[in-house]
Amino acid sequence: MTRFIFITSILILCSSAYSQKIDVETLKPDSEDFENIHVKKIAEDTFQSSYVIWVKQHVKPHYHAHHSEYIHVLNGEAIMRLDSSTFTIRKGDVVFIPQKSIHAVKTVSKKPLKVISIQTPLFDGDRIWVEE
């Protein structure tokens, strides 16, 4: 019984070690000197990958064959393409991008677009560029 309590306690401590509060409003790129896109990983486990992404100009059209993605716009404004739709995104907007949906953005604000990107399941480099 003691062994069971010990193992259970360790598992609880290990799982809570990954819990965190992230103040994404104060997150900054590692350098303001990035050319177009800067990505900072903020969390990851077997179910998801979360990033803060800054975009100065654009993200070219692409899709994820095995991932869905949510983006939450923290700052900036951009024109977003999602499959055959085109619309403006700005601070506070949340967009769901189903797997295999072609998407792209073009920043139209003076400041870079800043978004949280949450991809499920764990992002493994599944990004397929689309030529237009």
The domain 22-129 having CATH identifier 1.10.1200.10: the answer here is no
Confirm if 86 and 55 have CB atoms less than 8 A apart: no
Q: What is the mean pLDDT of residues 45-55?
A: 95
Q: What is the mean pLDDT of residues 48-65?
A: 97
Q: Which amino acid is at 16?
A: S
Distance of CA 107 to the CA centre of its chain: 16
pLDDT in tens, 89-127: 999 999 999 999 999 999 999 999 999 999 999 999 999
pLDDT of residue 79: 98
Q: Which amino acid is at 23?
A: D
pLDDT in tens, 30-44: 888 999 999 999 999
What secondary structure does DSSP assign to 6-70, as a single string? HHHHHHHHHHHHT-----TTT---S-TT-SSEEEEEEEEETTEEEEEEEESSEEEEEE-SS-EEE
Closest CA to 105 of 28, 69, 123, 40: 69
Q: Kindly tell me if the per-residue pLDDT of 15 is higher than 80.
A: no
Element (H, E) at 2: helix 2-17
Q: Dihedrals φ, ψ of 44, to 5°? A: -160, 140
The domain segmentation of the chain, as residue ranges, is: 22-129
Q: Kindly tell me if the per-residue pLDDT of 7 is higher than 80.
A: no
Q: Kindly tell me if the per-residue pLDDT of 17 is higher than 80.
A: no
d(CA 84, CA 81): 7
